[in-house]
Amino acid sequence: MSHFNSKQKKSGPTERGTVIAAHGRHYLVQAEKIKLHCVTRGKKSDVAVGDVVEYQLTSPNQGVIEAIAPRQTLLYRSDQYKSKMLAANLTQLIIVVATEPSFSDDLVSRALVASESSGIKAHLILNKIDVTESLDKARQRVALYANLGYPVHEVSVIGNPNATREKMLQLTQGQSSILIGQSGMGKSSLINLLIPDADIATREISAALDTGKHTTTFTRLFQMDAFEGRASYVIDSPGFQEFGLHHLSEGMLERAFPEFLPHLGHCKFYNCHHHSEPGCTVLEAIKRGEIAAMRHDLFKQLVHEAAQTIPYQN
């Protein structure tokens, strides 16, 4: 267990639960039979949805989080000034894109880099395949990611909801999955198809955390039926248009592009940055068409952004 501040920790029995929602420094913890509104001691707020925590009851339905169990994985994004944890203990990241409106390759690639650097398997869902006039172009665009080894699943929430639900159930069984996507991609519709009472659960969470009408601004976890003895979790994150990765070093970034891996360590210069150096095997692979120029451009952009990061205080 990692403690927030052992000096502040009070004596007394603690219980374990899973954080199912977070709003500011307020957390909803699913205990064995009840949901508890919990806070952390002091100003620390490094708790993420999906964390297994130890808490101490302060009233029948409220508690204080005392410690966080060691995490298997942690997914987060960061800008120049601060980082934001998205979820802990994930096994997979599901990126939802659609035939229309057009999706952002920049956002997709950034999410894939985040998954690679966090050790989380990534999948793409191509939704709205019933919109046939936009389908060929969308398929061509997601083919880039399929060729890199990321599974792409085609669905239509509106056109074929039963087959879509079945595919999503297969994909999420026994996993802890987070769904991300820009607005308009159909992520909420997928969640509602997968978890029929998601809207009711969200309203309950919103009331418990007193978020007012900000039900779309917090991440929440839904527990599904267990599969072969393993719990299945689906985490819905707010729609966002940016996915900063300022916390990743240049070395971490180059290893988060799977198509770079066969070429790393073979450049003329051992400290090659893969920008414009002579004898760079990554640049040679781009010329041969083995690496997409768009992906290399993103790599350079991410390295540039990471260099701009300002140290900050939690």
- 225 pLDDT band (50/70/90 cuts)? confident
Q: In the structure, what pLDDT confidence band is assigned to residue 230 with cuts at 50, 70 and 90?
A: confident
C-alpha triplet 48, 49, 54: angle, nearest 5°: 75
Tell me whether strands 152-154 and 121-127 are parallel, antiparallel or unpaired: parallel
Burial of 91 (0-12, 13-18, 19+ CB in 10 A): middle
Q: What is the mean pLDDT of residues 278-298?
A: 96
| Average pLDDT value for residue range 28-34 | 89
- Report pLDDT for 253: 96
pLDDT at 147: 96
pLDDT above 80 for 11:
no
Exposed (0-12), middle (13-18) or buried (19+): which is 7, by Cβ within 10 Å? Answer: exposed
Rounded to an integer, what distance in angstroms lies between the CA atom of residue 274 and that of residue 303? 11
Distance of CA 269 to the CA centre of its chain: 35
**CA dihedral angle for residue 216, residue 17, residue 52, residue 115, rounded to 10 degrees:** -30
Residue 177 has pLDDT above 80, yes or no: yes
pLDDT > 90? residue 302: yes
pLDDT of residue 81: 74
Q: What is the pLDDT of residue 42?
A: 74
According to DSSP H, which parts of 79-126 are helical? 105-118
pLDDT score, position 53? 95
pLDDT mean over 262-272: 93
pLDDT of residue 6: 37
Mean of the pLDDT values across residues 175-199?
90
Q: Which of 188, 101, 185, 189 is nearest to 137 (CA)?
A: 101
**Percentage of residues of the chain with pLDDT beyond 90:** 67
